[in-house]
Amino acid sequence: MLEEFEVELDGVPDSELRPDYNVAPTKNVYAVMCRVPKNEDGKAAGRPVRQLRTVRWGLVPSWAKDPSVGSRMINARVETVGEKPAYRRAFASRRCLLPADGYYEWMTLESRKKQPYFIHPADGGVLAMAGLYEFWKDPTRDDDDPLKWLCTCTVITTTAEDKLGRIHDRMPMMIERDHWAEWLDPRVSDPARLLVPAGPDRLAVYPVSTTVNDVRNNGPELIEPIEDEGEAAASSS
């Protein structure tokens, strides 16, 4: 991943996350971002450095009184991300890439059962989901406490079309490789032009077991394909 996203050696996290096949809100995930180093006075010192950071999924705005609001801010709609108070400052200068092998969506069948699907790059590559990150300062902790600052993120979503639209009406917004540098650059003043939905042939989808519905389940078996009940129901009607 470090080579894939051209992360610099001094931008590597101290600890490595274990593989996670069932990422849920408030869990830690990786985020690729570009940060300008600061000196002891808090002033910029040097050029931006591309980093890989561990952040918590569920954005907590800097002005939030309580970090629990992050559990309700796991997604930011592309239609309003530049206007909503919770996201507009991060959208202006704190943008990130959220690497993933794929993601899950659920489709409601006629039986009202919700069938999970695994959606992933058709070429077997890595997704670079468009994300935002924010820092929140915990007023209850001392300044020298390593947990004083909480870094969180959210995923920007857009309307899902074609074969993905039948499963769920929303999907993560992806950033094309050619636009990674611009998206991460906090100096870019018009990031909205970089947000282009993934083409219909870029992503593949297949059904997986409902065991993924329980966040306590976690392992490679969660992304094993099963028979598509949605397709079977459609063909028999």
Each residue of 181-227: pLDDT tens digit?
A: 999 998 898 999 998 877 768 889 999 999 999 999 999 999 999 98
**The predicted structure's pLDDT at residue 232:** 46
**The predicted structure's pLDDT at residue 55:** 96
Measured CA to CA in angstroms, residue 81 lies from 75, 105, 155, 184, 185 at distances of 10, 21, 10, 16, 17
- Kind of pairing, strands 127-137 and 28-35? unpaired
What gap in Å lies between CA 179 and CA 63, rounded to an integer? 30
**The predicted structure's pLDDT at residue 44:** 64
What gap in Å lies between CA 229 and CA 108, rounded to an integer? 11
Q: The tokens of 130 are what?
A: 């468009």
Please provide the CATH number assigned to the domain covering 9-236: 3.90.1680.10
What gap in Å lies between CA 75 and CA 56, rounded to an integer? 13
Give the residues of the chain that fall short of pLDDT 50.
232-237
Which residues, at least 6 apart from 180, have a Cβ–Cβ distance to it below 8 Å? 5, 32, 97, 128
CB atoms within 10 A of CB 224: 12
What sign results for the dihedral spanned by CA atoms 205, 207, 213, 218?
negative
Measured CA to CA in angstroms, residue 170 lies from 44, 64, 84 at distances of 38, 26, 18
Which residues, at least 6 apart from 12, have a Cβ–Cβ distance to it below 8 Å? 2, 51, 52
**The predicted structure's pLDDT at residue 234:** 42
Tokens 């959210």 appear where?
154
178 by DSSP, 3-state: which? helix
Q: The tokens of 139 are what?
A: 């007023």
Q: Is 22:222 a contact under the CB 8 Å cutoff? A: yes
- Does the pTM surpass 0.85? The reply is yes
**The predicted structure's pLDDT at residue 43:** 67
**The predicted structure's pLDDT at residue 202:** 86
78 by DSSP, 3-state: which? coil
**The predicted structure's pLDDT at residue 231:** 55
**The predicted structure's pLDDT at residue 183:** 96
